Amino acid sequence: MLEFVQSQILFYFAIILVLFLPGWFLLLAFFGKEKLSALERFVISVGLSILVSSFLMMLMSKIGIVFSRFFLVAILAVFAAGCFAVYKIRQKKLSVESEKKIFFDFSQNQLFFIIAILFLSIFIRAAYLQSAIPPSSTDLGHHAYWSKLFAETGKIHDYVQSDIIEKNGIYEIGAPHSISDFIIGEHLFFSAIALISGASFISAFPIIVLFLINIFSLLALFILSLRLFSNNLQNKNIAIFALFFSGALFAIDPPQAKFVGGGVIGNIIGNLLVPLTFYFYIRFLREKETNFLFFALFFSMGLFYTHHLSALIFLLVFSGFILLSLIFNFKETKNIIFSEKKASYSLILVSFFLFAIAFIFFVYTPTYLKNSAISTVVGTIKKADHIGLSLLQFRNILGETRIALGILGVLLLLLFYKKSEFKYSALLIISWAIIISLISLAPDLIKIDIPSGRVANYGIYPFALLGAFAFVSIFAKKSKKIRLLSFSRKLIVSAFLALFVFIFTNGLGGNENYLKTNNNAQKTLQTFNASEYLAEKINKKDFLISDHIYVFADSWIKLFFMRGYNFPVYRANLDRYENGIDKNEFCSRDMISNPGGELGKKCFADLNIDFAMINKETDSSQFKKLNNFWQVYSNDKINVYYRKK
């Protein structure tokens, strides 16, 4: 019991130390308690802490400091203490006047709705994730391997993998080559939490961390909305509905189900960092304060160390924003560009650019600058799920409510554009929505070779903002800027309630199919039990093949052995052997599908593979009829066979 309590305390301590304190104290050092509300500091601290802790660990690795609990705690604590010291020194010089927190002064009814929406958002995701303890997502398993490797060895390794190749008629494991699919920022904060807390990666810990990040991304959209619409009398209501449209409605529809379950770490972190990046750019444009530009640039840099797709989408949206600003607001945009030229020579910005250059070239160069990561994302589209979505598919991903109200929101923003006191908010949201729509529906325009459904996921937030703006604007009774029609109050209230009920039931109905109970947890445990058994029994000379098609949570098998990213060898989905892109060998297919065939037998012998882990219901028959395979393990879902030599 005492050991359990201690592990829980260490886990929560690690979460706070890695995901909260560095960012909180860095914001305190720059802004004190005046420019950011407590809620803003609380939300921004999480995204900022992910970046700070990752950059500190990259620096540790560069100067040869081995990752360990002691050094990580010491370095993070020293960083936080240093920031706090700067805050105390600057506090004496800063103005004592506080910014009026009018954006965060909510009525009792508004607070009730905010709490209720957050509760509903958390409840829906938690209900979905109840079958994800223990974790099973394929992509998360791949990411967890690297995080565990960094934690176990105490240093950063190159991302490499080895493929099966044929050489002079003999099949062998080829030399390691670089992998383009992983970015360092996706892994280091997991390694830090594991090292400090002692938590096992084969547990609920990765899912819990991603769940927290997902919830904070909703709050990031909330504080961004308050700033975007700060000139609107209904800005608080718009922010509340944006939280509702993004957090509760269609919360786990595909691809959200996969992301909330930890499938694509980069998307989850990107959906937190992108709104925070825009938050600081918008505040800089409003208030012309250099510190805001510094953090906008810092978050922009962080995106490139965290997820190259998120960084690419940010660049496209930001480029679209600048283009729209020059088209619709040329004179003011030109004045801002030239009036802020002097700001680029300020000490804080010069320091940032020197830091960025030194970090990129001397500390850690992002992998896509060293290998072919860019070509794997931008280039000729080859795969069927990369060619773009139909309008129906796009609607299903965003949800009917969000996309319908989002389109209306674009029209309203354009209609009342000239009456807006701060036009850049409208241009940013419109650019955000248009860019995501274009590269989801027609990725061939800019040659983005990545699953279109994954790209469309980024559209949830801008369409939630647009939908909230449209919905509130239609029924706003006090807005001087936007008032569409004049009807009796009873009619307006009736229409509001009818539409709200439809939106609520339609949006929550989208979650229904994904909240059904399943036996994924049981199937995952069967795979883990078999893996644990093999990890105890086989030696370093033994090799294993497993199956991705029918063995559930197979990507987690490698975490029991930690003998390389490609251990065990596995049979992939069958279409990957036929598309001419993914697989250039058939050994991994035939060793499972036809182990008694000529190719299967040759591959087993050439690659010296001793064990096969397969689904007992789908693939046992072809092994049972062979005399040279002995069954050495069995449970409800898995059989393991040993090959006699």
Question: Residues 517, 522, 526, CA angle at the centre, nearest 5°?
Answer: 160
What are residue 174's phi and psi, to 5 degrees?
-75, 175
Per-residue pLDDT band for 97 (boundaries 50, 70, 90) equals: very low
DSSP lists the bridge partners of residue 544 as 611
Question: Contact, 524 vs 135, CB < 8 A?
Answer: yes
What contacts 473, CB < 8 A, 6 or more positions away?
234, 412, 479, 482, 484
pLDDT tens-digit map of 570-614: 999 988 888 777 788 899 999 999 999 999 999 999 999 999 999
Residue keyed to tokens 């965060």? 104
Output the six-digit token pair for 572. 């992939």
pLDDT at 2: 74
Name the DSSP class of 198: -
Single-letter amino acid code for the residue at 223: I
Two tokens at 373? Answer: 């990561």
Percentage of residues in the chain with pLDDT exceeding 90?
A: 51
* pLDDT band at residue 321 under the 50/70/90 scheme: very high
What is the structure's pLDDT at 145? 95
Query: Is-contact 60 74, C-beta < 8 A?
Result: no
Q: How would you classify the pairing of strands 170-173 and 544-547? A: unpaired
The residue type of 185 is G
**DSSP class per residue in 70-109:** HHHHHHHHHHHHHHHHHHHHHHTTS--PPPP-GGG---HH
Q: What is the mean pLDDT of residues 547-565?
A: 93
Strands 177-178, 544-547: pairing is unpaired
Question: What is the rounded average pLDDT of the residues 357-371?
Answer: 82
| Top mean-pLDDT range of 135-149, 359-373, 470-484 | 135-149
Structure tokens at 630: 């002995």
Separation of alpha carbons 240 and 132, rounded Å: 29
Indicate the class that CATH gives domain 520-643.
alpha beta
CB 524 within 8 A of CB 202: no
270 Cβ partners below 8 Å, 6+ apart? 303, 306, 307, 309, 310, 313, 458
Asked if 374 and 308 count as a contact pair (C-beta separation under 8 A), the reply is yes
Whether the predicted pLDDT of 320 surpasses 90: yes
Please tell me the pTM assigned to this model: 0.90
**CA distance linking residue 96 with residue 525, whole number of Å:** 58
Reported as half-sphere exposure (CB side, CA atoms, 13 A), residue 554 has a value of: 23
For residue 134, whether the previous peptide bond is cis, meaning omega lies within 30 degrees of 0, is: yes
Q: What is the pLDDT of residue 485?
A: 47
Residue ranges of alpha helices (H) inside 305-371 are 308-328, 330-339, 347-358, 367-370
CA distance 111 to 89: 36
Q: Are strands 544-547 and 611-615 parallel, antiparallel or unpaired?
A: parallel
Domain boundaries, the chain: 1-95+134-203, 106-131+226-256+275-513, 520-643
What's the mean per-residue pLDDT of the chain? 85
Contact 258, 125 (CB under 8 A): no
What span, in angstroms and rounded, lies between the C-alpha atoms of 227 and 235? 8
Residue 154's pLDDT is what?
Answer: 92
Quote the CA–CA distance of 499 and 122 in Å, as a whole number: 24
Q: Is the pLDDT of residue 353 over 80?
A: yes
- The residue behind tokens 């006699």 is 644
Pick the more confident residue, 374 or 420.
Answer: 420
Q: Determine which of 320-329, 391-400, 559-568 has the lowest per-residue pLDDT on average.
A: 391-400
Q: How many angstroms separate the CA atoms of 41 and 27, rounded?
A: 7
Lowest mean pLDDT among 38-42, 175-179, 298-302, 382-386: 382-386
Cα 577 to Cα 584: distance, rounded to the nearest angstrom: 7
> Which amino acid, one-letter code, is at 409?
G
Dihedral of the alpha carbons of 463, 469, 475, 479, in degrees to the nearest 10: -170
Could you tell me the two tokens for 495? 């229409």
pLDDT given for residue 390 in this prediction? 81
